[in-house]
Amino acid sequence: MYDLAIIGGGVAGMTAAIYAARAGMNTVIIEQGGFGGQVALTAKIENYPSYKEVEGFQLAADMKAQVDSFGVESRMAQVKALSKDGDIFTVATDSGEIQARTVIIANGVRKQELGIKGEEEFRGRGVSWCAVCDGNFFRKKRTAVIGSGNSAIGDAVYLANLCEDVYVVFRRDKPTAAKHNLEQLDGVENVHLIPRSIPVEIKGDRKVTALTIKKLDTDEVSDIEVSGVFEAMGQMIPDNELFCGLVELDKRGYIVTDEEMRTSTPGLYAAGDTRQKNLRQIITACADGALAATSAHSYLRTVKQQ
């Protein structure tokens, strides 16, 4: 029996674990993939206080080391269900059940997919959602990045150091990335912007060989010969169907909480990108995690006094 079970090992979940452990709570953190979440997949971070510049993987590794130093138990498992009986929560996973008096949902979001022909077929065989993870497989090859925001431009700059050519395909007239990020393209001759265009098919044999695009102004369809397609549209989708019986969801599927990260079920909290909020950044995810853990600790003290 744990005082607190945290679902998700991103920065919100890891911050919650640190605050909970410091408060003396017996805590377990459950993660199905890699600790760090989206941060671990980010090449370079320049807006996290105290770091002028830091690699996302390094920041995630530093946070995980701090979590471990407080003796927090980590479980690698996929959560299948969450239920509550009386004052006890049960987290059902693919490796067994975990019971806790309080739970923080910090499962983050999943990236939006294109939904075009060839995307699923070539997943892991040229189609990727992580330039930092998979970019090295495309050294001296041609790649395409889909999107025009900060994530897409960041991926393009990262891939430019590895690839022969990088084609950035987007539907708008110009990229939507922040000025500072766009300035990173200055002098990078092997990144080619293709505006007013959309991807319509990913082609290949056993691996990706081409990306078919359509010009929005003329409906002209053409192929770009590439070995890799990196999807970086920047849109994220919450994945909270498992919890809908215990929490209130907004129209987009995000968990509704109050300012203390409390959901509609006593003892259940949400933190980070999974909850309804206006700004989804590392710093706000950390703040959510700290608040959620503090609220869970206060709840336990109140219950014990009753």
Domains for the chain: give ranges and CATH numbers.
Answer: 2-111+236-305 (3.50.50.60), 127-231 (3.50.50.60)
Q: What is the pLDDT of residues 23-65, one digit of tens each?
A: 999 999 999 988 998 888 777 788 889 988 898 889 999 999 9
Q: What is the mean pLDDT of residues 253-261?
A: 97
Q: Which residues are catalytically annotated?
A: 130, 133-134
> Residue with structure tokens 């930092």?
132
| Dihedral Cα 91, 96, 97, 102, nearest 10 deg | -50
Helix (H, G, I), strand (E, B) or coil at 268: strand
3-state helix/strand/coil string of 160-210: HCCCCEEEEECCCCCCCCCHHHHHHHCCCCCEEEECCEEEEEEEECCCEEE
Model confidence at 165, pLDDT cuts 50, 70, 90, reads: very high
Q: What is the mean pLDDT of residues 199-213?
A: 96
Query: Across all residues in the chain, what is the average pLDDT?
Result: 94
